[in-house]
A = this chain, B = another copy of it.
């Protein structure tokens, strides 16, 4: 059986994220993705704190964002996340939709790999505990 782990969070676009074109500046979506990813990893039970305890950082090595429609001040939106890879690297897909209409705002993904805190070496397999936690959600 396939494992499909999804999650979602709700955010209200804050004033300080809106630029002079009266839309959320594109760079701020990286924060929204991270908030949603952290929430997803909390759900999996293997968050950044757990990674650090195990001796790993999990830097983002690849990121893509496609901006379909703008977000405006105080707009309420949903960030949907799906964990699509976890065995060798962590790949999360994101979709941002307007809360009221469900219309699509943004989609994208991030790829992270484990890095040993001591040696700063990139790992080619994810930490055992991460894999176990994900498998346990089957």
Tell me the A residues contacting B by CB distance below 8 Å: 14-16, 18-23, 25-27, 30-31, 34-35, 38, 47-49, 57, 59-68, 70, 73-74
Contacts and interface: CB of A to CB of B under 8 A. Distances in A.
B64 A64 contact: yes
Q: Looking at chain A's contact residues, is the secondary structure mostly helix, strand, loop, or mixed? A: mixed
B38 A14 contact: yes
A66 B73 contact: no
Indicate how many identical chains form the complex. 4
Given A27-B30, A34-B15, A38-B15, A67 B60 contact: yes
Contacts of A23: 59
Given A19-B20, A30-B26, A30-B30, A62 B67 contact: yes
A128 to B, nearest CB: 21
B19 A48 contact: no
A64 B25 CA distance: 16
Nearest to A25: B16
Given A61-B66, A65-B63, A67-B61, A15 B26 contact: no
B27 A27 contact: yes
Q: 8 shortest A-B CB distances, which residue pairs?
A: A27-B30, A26-B60, A64-B64, A18-B20, A21-B57, A20-B22, A61-B67, A63-B65
A23 B58 CA distance: 12
